[in-house]
Structure 1
Amino acid sequence: MPVHNADIAARFEEIADRLEIQGANPFRIRAYRNAARTLAELPQEARVLLEKGEDLTRLPGIGADLAAKVREIVETGHCSLLDRLRRELPPAVTELLQIPGLGPKRVKALYHDLDVQTVEQLYRAARDGRIRALPGFGDKTELNILQAVEAHVSQTHRFKLAVAAQYADTLTAFLQALPGVGQVTVAGSFRRMRETVGDLDLLVTAQAGSAVMQRFTAYDEVAEVLSAGGTRASVVLKSGLQVDLRVVEPPSYGAALCYFTGSKAHNIAIRRLAQKRGLKVNEYGVFRGSERIAGDDETSVYAGVGLPWIPPELREDRGEIEAAREGRLPRLVELSDLRGDLHAHTRATDGHDSLRDMAEAARALGLSYLAITEHSRHLTVAHGLDPLRLTRQCDEIDRLNLELEGIVLLKGIEVDILEDGSLDLPDDVLGRLDLVVGAVHSRFHLTRAKQTERILRAMDHPHFTLLAHPSGRLLEQREPYDVDMLRIIRHARQRGCFLELNAHPERLDLLDSHCQMAKEEGVLVSINSDAHSRYDFANLRYGVGQARRGWLEKDDVLNTRPLAALRRLIRRTM
């Protein structure tokens, strides 16, 4: 597909932003901004000049290096430097630039000094009074930032994905059971499996004369009807969650599903592709002039702009368009691919069910192995196990495995990583286990250097298998601790150990960007429930959703292996 000057300029501006946030040479940053301005104002397309054999270095501010990058973007649709910079900085960091009053220099300070990566983290930092102490900020600037963020997000209260799912699942079932209703799908950020959602977007096909709108607005959980018409309605549930319903005709269902699934940036990119083909894409279909040529399903919409179908979790305009165009879309991991779970607790510590209860619940979900990983003694609030109690539990697991059919319990521990990087239990005890899951549960506010070294030292322990919830965050409760995740991932690769994607809805940790980083570095990720009761295995769906947002495929996930293959892999770490 042709690349326009505006596309190249946008990439150069993003490079400049990311370089400035990283603290790169100011002259290099300025060069990219100047080049972006030159290209944005250039009346002729750079690709046309290249086709004519023109020397781009003759353009103002375009040297040999930048000319080569322009050629790369024109010929391949991407820039290797930008790809690298996107891996080095969390994708959401540049979203901070949308907040009035925040330029790259201030975003750089917030990121490097306070590890602020998202608008939500920025709000908490301002609210907690942590920004005013930074050089060049002060009380007034902090207040301005707080007000700007509040104005930016005040219109939408976000719900954790698992909370929103409770309303989405029951409402979908309610609508699906109505006479005359065909398809019912929850679109929006919920379908993209974002960690939090602002509202629910429901799409429905229904026969003429169906009472779906009247039944929807009269739904028991509705607290307020914001609007109601023949094909669309909007309500607020008693929980405060807004739900928008749209009834669409079957020939437009796929187009509407694409449009209302989003994201906005992805949709804009799709519309640009359509425009280059002389087409128009909207929620009603794909049109050539007044003729609708596609739209009944999503596959037809993507085919209309020359692409294969793109999974909803990838639709964030973070490289999925280019990957689709080049045939590089991943075959994302599915919940059914999981063969086991490597992080679970029983009532021996802070869980609620017995070993047998947990084993039977895991087996009922189709899992063939389950690692029991109680807390270790340092975590006294969870009644962590000392060496004697852990040894007794290992004996109990061995006895129970002789009775169980269809599932095997693995002996493990979620051992605390102490401040100096040592593990909370002696080697002779850890050596008896099938796997050792290391976790940071204290001293979250160490400096980045100390926190990183702490974890690296723990990973070097001869019995270390898996790093649990690697960033330590709790959604809307505790920020990630400050750590160099790229160093940790690369050390895991060198050491031959693994990272957890904790599927607990309060965690969803690894971040999706870190999942991509692990994939690129060749480090396997284990999608674990962190179950504390037999019901918690259902949370694996959210972990899989996060993994899919991180582009993970079946082979990128440790616990998609059958037990024999898993044992061979984890044995190498012991």
Structure 2
Amino acid sequence: MPMHNSEIADRFDRLADLLEIEGANPFRVRAYRNAARTIRGYPRSMADLLADDVDLTELPDIGDDLAKKIQILVTSGELPLLEEVEARTPPALSELMKIQGLGAKRVKALHEALGIDSLEELREAVENGKVQEVEGFGEKSEEKIRRRLKKFSGNEQRTKLIEAEQISTPLVEYLEKARGVKDIVIAGSYRRRKETVGDLDILVTAKADNNVMEHFTGYDEVAEVDSQGETRSTVYLRSGMQVDLRLVPQVCFGSAQHYFTGSKDHNIAVRKLGMERGYKINEYGVFEGDKRIAGQTESSVYKAVGLPLIAPELRENHGELDAARDGRLPDLVTLKDLRGNLHTHTNATDGHDTLRAMAKAAMEFGLEYLAITDHSKHLTVAHGLNEKRLRRQLEVIDKLNDEFSELRLLKSIEVDILEDGKLDLPDSVLAELDFVLCAVHHKFDLTQEKQTRRILRAMDSPHCHILAHPSGRLINRREAYDIDLKMILEAAAERGCAVELNAQPERLDLTDEGCRMARDLGVKVSIAADAHSTRGFDYLRFGVDQARRGWLEPRDVLNTLPLKELLRFFRR
């Protein structure tokens, strides 16, 4: 059975971690990390590409050697180099690097001094006060690790939304081929578009003469059949994900969607509204006594309790029922509302494609404007731009703007916020840009007070227009750095700054709560793809999912503005 993209990417990431712990060449380590990022976010599976005789070296960051390794993984499930490295370096050490503040050197120091090979051994060493005795650590370091271990536990088993999509899409396509199938809906947190998914709940309607359950359990990705019945079966896929399939009568398909989409708190609140009217609401319908009065559609379930249909993304019992009752439900933003992308990288820094290629891809995606935001010089690992290289890029943008009529390229840069809050490039060059995207890329370990003050100082600059990926988190890999988000958003409102919702599936930063806070404070949110390749604009849809969970309407989103209004915003 061929491997999923996420499985291949995980192996390359683990290999990169272990090589970094061993002190391997940084460029070699980075090559595996870049390849993992490309593979994890690629819309087609590597197995399908190989089956179609696609040359994998045409993909960003994939050379001959990596292409051969991908082919070996797809066909055999093995990566000999990883096995070789794991034989001499405990593979669990890569898990330790997911704890913020534990880079390769510190993990290696803990391993050599205390023999720590796992998270459990690290927890034990922290509780026994052993970590502070290791050279380069101390009481403060040990306490930080203790706090981060508590945050880290419990989050690592959930699957990122994009990976859940990669697993579920071929499964749904397979189920559609079952005899008699009519409707298929993936419910649960997946349908609510949460940033991570625990398991998959799939609902199906079908004709009486169907083979849905037999077909489902015969899927070639199934590693274990936990149970199989006439109306419900549960399996575990090779990826480890649990999938529950329910065969639902058409008459109660709507109530089943409502019930299994959740959230639990939302459903309880809806059931209470039903009880107030003398109704019983469950997955089989809305009942008055023994009579089913609603349930064939979701709309009918909400109508029975006096409410309009509530979008799945809002169903968290965070005020949506009151808003629905009072006619205050938001008119949620959609992908079609976005006119441009305000975070784009080219091969001038750590992007994979030329400026021209990115512009053409943006036009094909239907965008009206595109900001070029390569990194600034402080981010040396990304070959960041200094003043001279940036000005050369601005000249290229001018020429392309003269050439293109469908797209306006905006002059910008993702400028580093230094530890003292200053921006990485002088005001004289920043003043030549249409706007400036500001970001924290280092010193994640500052206290909340220092980190917040650092960002506030950056926002004091008249050239700070958008704060990029505000918390710096990487889902399941790196905790957010410690900031007072409310204080930062209040300052953004005062200064007329916008804040970014970075749509990279491993970031989705702002959180849904942060989006709603920004909305309530009147801070514009930029839904940005952070595109590093021509295919990167597809990430915008994940940003829209997150924005919808955060109650954002088109008027709340910066890049729904027409170009003239957008430029007017930047000239605040």
Q: TM-score range by the shorter chain?
A: 0.7 to 0.9
For normalisation by structure 1, the TM-score amounts to 0.73
Q: 2:317 matched to 1:317? A: yes
Q: After superposition, where does 1:515-530 map in structure 2 within 5 Å?
A: 515-530=515-530
Paired letter, 1:412 = S
Residue 380 of structure 1: how far off its partner (Å): 0.5
The alpha-carbon distance between structure 1 residues 129 and 536, as it changes in their structure 2 partners (threshold 3 A), is farther
Q: Aligned partners of 2:536 and 2:446: how far apart in 1?
A: 31
Bigger drift between 462-471 and 405-414 goes to 405-414
Structure 2 residue matching 1:375: 3-state secondary structure: coil
Report the counterpart of residue 532 of structure 2 in structure 1.
532
Deviations 1:372-414 (A, max 9, x none): 1001000001110111111111111111122224222111100
- Structure 1 unaligned residues grouped into runs of 5+: 1-122, 134-138
The 3 A distance-change label for structure 1 pair 148 and 470 is closer
Deviation at 1:176, TM superposition (A): 2.7
Partners of 1:307 and 1:432 lie apart in 2 by 52
* Residues 428 and 149 of structure 1, relative CA distance in 2, 3 Å threshold: closer
Letter in 2 for 1:197: V
Equivalent position SS for 2:412: strand
**What code does the residue aligned with 1:288 have?**
E
Q: CA deviation at 1:132?
A: 8.5
Q: Does 1:398 align with 2:398?
A: yes
CA–CA distance in 2 between the matches of 1:431 and 1:232?
A: 62
Deviates more, 1:405-414 or 1:525-534: 405-414
- The CA distance in 2 between the partners of 1:287 and 1:214, in whole Å, is 32
2:482 is the counterpart of 1:488:
no
Query: Could you list the per-position Cα deviations for residues 88-145 of structure 1 after superposition, in whole angstroms to 9, with x for gaps in the alignment?
Result: xxxxxxxxxxxxxxxxxxxxxxxxxxxxxxxxxxx99x94977899xxxxx9xx9999
* Root-mean-square deviation over aligned CA pairs: 2.6
Letter in 2 for 1:317: N
2:189 corresponding residue in structure 1: 189
User: Does the Cα contact within 8 Å between 2:213 and 2:228 map onto a contact in 1?
Assistant: yes
Partner SS, residue 317 of structure 2? coil
**What's the TM-score once normalised by structure 2's chain length?**
0.74
What is the alpha-carbon distance in structure 1 between the residues aligned to residue 440 and residue 260 of structure 2? Answer: 39
User: Shift in Å at residue 212 of structure 1?
Assistant: 2.0
CA distance in 2, matches of 1:478, 1:418: 20
Q: Give aligned pairs, total.
A: 442
Partner of 2:552: 552
Cα separation, 2, equivalents of 1:524 and 1:128: 45
Compute the displacement of 1:293 (Å).
0.5
Q: Which residue of 1 aligns with 2:478?
A: 478
Aligned partners of 1:358, 1:281: CA distance in 2, in Å? Answer: 51
1:146-175 Cα shifts (integer Å, max 9, x gaps) = 89997xx59x93101111011122222222
Closer, same or farther: CA 352–460 of 1 in aligned 2, 3 Å: same
Separation in 1, partners of 2:412, 2:146: 48
Q: Which runs of 5+ in 2 are unaligned?
A: 1-118, 130-141
Q: Pick which of 377-386 and 227-236 moved more.
A: 227-236
SS in 2 for 1:359: helix
- Code of the residue aligned with 2:187 in structure 1: it is A
Partner of 2:18: none
Cα distance in 2 for residues equivalent to 1:275 and 1:211: 38
CA distance in 2, matches of 1:390, 1:567: 20
Q: CA deviation at 1:532?
A: 0.7
- C-alpha distance in structure 1 between counterparts of 2:461 and 2:234, whole Å: 55
Within a 5 Å distance, the mapping from 1:64-103 to structure 2 comes to: none
Post-superposition Cα deviations, 1:506-526, rounded to whole Å, max 9, x if no partner, equal 111011111111111100000
Query: 1:198 and 1:462, CA in 2 relative to 1: closer, same or farther beyond 3 A?
Result: same
What displacement does 1:323 show?
1.3
Give the CA deviation at 1:243.
Answer: 1.2
Structure 1's consecutive aligned runs of 4 or more residues displaced over 3 angstroms after TM superposition are: 126-133, 142-150
Find the counterpart in structure 1 of residue 366 from structure 2: 366
Give the partner amino acid of 2:567: R
Alignment correspondent of 1:284: 284
State which drifts further: 213-222 or 252-261.
213-222
Q: Secondary structure at the match of 2:373?
A: strand
For 1:243, what is the secondary structure of its paired residue?
A: strand
* Offset at residue 234 of structure 1 (A): 1.2
Query: What's the offset of the Cα at 1:534?
Result: 1.2
1:535–1:486 CA distance, 2 compared to 1 (3 A): same
Cα gap change, 1:329 to 1:438, in 2 (>3 Å): same
Between the aligned residues of both structures, percent identity stands at 59
What is the identity, as a one-letter code, of the residue corresponding to 1:297? Answer: T
User: 2:555 and 2:124 mapped to 1: Cα distance?
Assistant: 42
Alpha carbons of structure 1 residues 516 and 223: separation in structure 2 relative to 1, 3 Å: same
Shift of 1:530: 0.6
Distance 1:129 1:365, change over 3 A: farther
CA–CA distance in structure 2, aligned partners of residues 129 and 329 of structure 1: 50
Correspondences of 1:270-309 after superposition (within 5 Å): 270-309=270-309
Contact in 1 for aligned 2:451/2:483 (Cα 8 Å): yes
**Structure 1 residues 129 and 523: CA distance shift in structure 2, 3 A:** farther
Structure 2 CA distance, aligned partners of 1:461 and 1:199?
Answer: 45
Match of 1:267 in 2: 267
Report whether the alignment pairs 1:224 with 2:217: no
For 1:326-345, list aligned pairs within 5 A.
Answer: 326-345=326-345
Q: Is the 8 A contact 2:126 2:146 kept in 1?
A: no
User: Aligned partner of 1:362: which letter?
Assistant: A
Q: 1:343 to 1:210 in 2, by over 3 A?
A: same
Q: 1:254 maps to what in 2?
A: 254
Counterpart AA for 1:229: G
- Distance in 2 between the 1:148 and 1:389 partners? 41
Give 1:571 shift.
2.0
Q: How far did 1:204 drift? A: 1.1
In 1, Cα distance between equivalents of 2:333 and 2:274: 29
Amino acid at match of 1:547: A
Could you tell me which amino acid in structure 2 is paired with residue 338 of structure 1?
A: L
Give 1:478 shift: 1.4
SS of the residue corresponding to residue 435 of structure 1 reads coil
Q: Residue type matched to 1:289 in 2?
A: G
